[in-house]
Copies of this chain bind each other. A is one copy, B any other.
Amino acid sequence: MDIVIPLFERFTALDAIGPYEVLARLPGARVRFAAERPGPVRTDTGGLSVVAEVGLAEVERADVIVVPGGPGSRELVGDAGLVGWVRRLHPGTTWTTSVCTGSLVLGAAGLLDGLEATTHWGAVALLESFGARYRPERYVVQGRIITAAGVSAGIDMALHLAGELAGRPVAEAIQLGIEYDPQPPFDRGSVAKADPATVALVSRLRELRTSA
């Protein structure tokens, strides 16, 4: 089983590594990171690079695609790069999936038109500009397309996907292997649970990072 996670400059690390950690534990799965050019790819936070093993052009098919999000995803348009790659590979995949604003890449590839989908809560209008209807859920399954909500939601989505690919007992063993029994110390993980001050502070923190 060939699973490919495409990377691009300024992707969000956890969007990619959360699902990776789950899917790499599937028996018989090969999970590879691909990018425009093989080599280190910078994340959105600057201090971290993840190595892409292969170039996108070398990957002509995959059973599963997981497109992460991040600020860089908003600049991916047109057929030349990742958007075109997703459009070309999608007809041959078993599952085409995204995490966070990775959904915008699926949208730009024309895959979400008329479908329900999710994304990071800060990118709802952009998602809907591609003809999708936003649903505020951890992940949304539409046929063989799955979109996950922001960043950490990729772990929940990947466990669901692991169940689809290898059966529930294996998926549960993977959950136990990564000891995924989450107990966040706070309860502000969605817009529905946050007040306006917290929402505003998210933007302020992002500006501080961008200007740093």
A interface residues with partner B (beta carbon < 8 Å): 12-14, 17-18, 20-21, 24-25, 27, 30-33, 40, 45-51, 53, 100, 120-121, 138, 149-153, 155-156, 159-160, 163, 168-186, 188-191, 193-194, 197-199, 201-202, 204-206, 208-209
Contacts and interface: CB of A to CB of B under 8 A. Distances in A.
A32 B45 CA distance: 11
A65 to B, nearest CB: 15
Given A14-B17, A160-B185, A180 B152 contact: yes
A175 B182 contact: no
Given A13-B17, A208-B27, A198 B173 contact: yes
Contacts of A21: 12-14, 45, 151
Nearest to A14: B21
Contacts of A183: 138, 156
A43 to B, nearest CB: 8
5 contacts: A12-B21, A21-B151, A152-B181, A172-B198, A173-B205
A184 B13 CA distance: 20
Contact of A188 (B24, B160, B172, B199): B172
A67 to B, nearest CB: 16
Report the 8 A-B pairs with minimum CB-CB distance, sorted nearest first: A150-B179, A181-B189, A182-B182, A173-B201, A14-B21, A151-B178, A24-B45, A172-B188
A39 to B, nearest CB: 9
A179 B172 contact: no
A40 B205 CA distance: 29
Contact of A50 (B48, B168, B204): B48
